[in-house]
Amino acid sequence: MRAWMTAAYPICRSISGDGVRGTLDLLADVLPDGATLERTGVPSGTQVFDWTIADEWNVREAWVRGPDGQRVVDLADHTLHLVGYSAPVHARVPLEELRRHLHSLPDRPDWIPYRTSYYHRDWGFCLRHRDLQGLPPGDYEVLVDATLEPGELVYGEVVLPGSTDGEVLVSSHVCHPSLANDNLSGLAVATELLRLLAARPERRHTYRFLFAPGTIGSLTWLSRNTDRLDRIRHGLVITGLAGGGPLVYKQTLRGTRTVDDAAAHVVRARGGEVRPYAPWGYDERQFNAVGFDLPVGRLTRTPHGEYPEYHTSADDLAFVGDDELVDALDALVEIVDVLEGDATYANLSPFGEPQLGRHGLYPTTGGHSADQEVMAMLWTLGLSDGITSLLEVAARSGLPFADVRAAADRLCAAGLLGPRPQAERSATNRASDPIEPKTSPVKSSSSTVTP
């Protein structure tokens, strides 16, 4: 993950152009055998709901040269120096006029801010405030050697088929330039999660990984997939997975989806925080728009705008800790294990507590306290009424989901637990509810990731 981020960091990305293509190239290079990155290009000018895909933007060089002929701002030094989507310009302007196109952070004089102008034709540069204050009066030469012309918006998808066509959507944006936490941490962790899932011998769900420019990219994907959105059972937008702070899960619009319960179960056990939905943030707000109402939450650490390094040059590779990336990956694997393993069962010996020892499920010597393995079986039997899911058993008992899943597997093997009869099944299950278990229960994989 660190190596991939280091390679991707210098690329000048935006919502379209060669920077997006180059980033998708890097993602394709690290995919496991059998996984393919499918790219989709949608022409500029295409109407996407209330939006229109903008002209494609590419930049070759951009700089500001002072009265003495020296460059005082240069895109070659840092991709944040140029306002994203700056229109081409080559002119000489006095300092007073130039200042109207310059952006800095007075309270963080050594950091470069990140600014964009996607849908308003303008140009601008970002620089350290201490450098801005040191600019002498006089005329400045400005060059933005860029093109803004009809092209395409590009996004990439990788699909890992499962035994069902119910999908888990994992989305991470590809549109930010050199911002390590806000952009690259999500892409790196998503790619590693993809590699781990591809190595599993069986998957119940189909996993769709979406790498698209923020907002306009996810909207474009949604507009082209309206006929298959009902396949999405669960989803996660992942980004900002480093930079300090505990993991934070943002709920879906409803807040009652299975992915909400699964993520909350994992994140809270890791000392993290669960927050309600709000219509601001990353692409989760597009997936949760009332017209779609998809079961897609968001996983970050300290959310956007709540740490000073956000959208500044201080969000560099040093701001991202390896341990944070691995911890986020571990958490995502655990969430996947819950989504894969959750199911609803019926106690097949419901009249009193069954004699576990007769079924080889209880220590042969009595008189001692029940250990966690036995308690997991008792809780699972006690709550398996054909309606309560294993995730609900874990939540009520306070036990890890992996222990409850393992208990269900043992109880099924012993003939004490099984699928609830068809007549008892609710006809009002949510689209994001667990898939009914097969006759042979699905066993979850280990949720531990070795750094």
Q: Domains in the chain: how many in total?
A: 3
According to DSSP, the β-strands at 167-173 and 139-149 are unpaired
Nearest to 411 by CA among 451, 375, 436, 369: 375
370: domain CATH number?
1.10.10.10
Same domain (yes/no): 62, 104: yes
Q: Cα–Cα distance between 415 and 35 in angstroms, integer? A: 38
181: domain CATH number?
3.40.630.10
Q: Cα–Cα distance between 248 and 267 in angstroms, integer? A: 7
In a domain, 444, yes or no: no
Same domain (yes/no): 366, 270: no
Q: What's the pLDDT at 361? A: 84
Same domain (yes/no): 62, 142: yes
Same domain (yes/no): 140, 210: no
In a domain, 320, yes or no: yes
In a domain, 405, yes or no: yes
Q: Cα–Cα distance between 11 and 23 in angstroms, integer? A: 7
Last residue of a domain, one of 94, 119, 149: 149
Structure-token pair, residue 264? 């909350």
Q: What's the pLDDT at 370? A: 58
How many Cβ atoms sit within 10 Å of the Cβ of residue 423? 6
Under 8 Å between Cβ of 444 and 402: yes
Q: What's the pLDDT at 206? A: 98
How many Cβ atoms sit within 10 Å of the Cβ of residue 161? 12
In a domain, 430, yes or no: no
Last residue of a domain, one of 323, 340, 357: 340
Q: Who contacts 51 (Cβ-Cβ below 8 Å, separation ≥6)?
A: 215, 216, 219
Residue with tokens 């306009």: 216
Same domain (yes/no): 274, 391: no
Same domain (yes/no): 158, 172: yes
Q: What domain range is 415 assigned to?
A: 344-424
In a domain, 262, yes or no: yes
Same domain (yes/no): 398, 387: yes
Same domain (yes/no): 17, 41: yes
Q: What's the pLDDT at 371? A: 86
In a domain, 440, yes or no: no
For the chain, report the end-to-end CA distance as a whole number of angstroms: 10
Last residue of a domain, one of 313, 340, 367: 340
Same domain (yes/no): 187, 209: yes
In a domain, 435, yes or no: no
Q: What's the pLDDT at 359? A: 87
Under 8 Å between Cβ of 354 and 416: yes
Same domain (yes/no): 356, 229: no
Q: Cα–Cα distance between 324 and 322 in angstroms, integer? A: 5
Same domain (yes/no): 175, 314: yes
Structure-token pair, residue 409? 């597997």
In a domain, 25, yes or no: yes
Q: CA 264, 266, 267: angle at the middle one, nearest 5?
A: 65
pLDDT along the chain (451 residues), means of 10: 98 98 98 96 98 98 97 98 98 98 98 97 98 98 98 98 96 97 97 97 97 98 97 98 96 97 97 97 97 98 96 98 98 98 95 87 54 92 95 96 95 91 43 43 36 31
Same domain (yes/no): 179, 327: yes
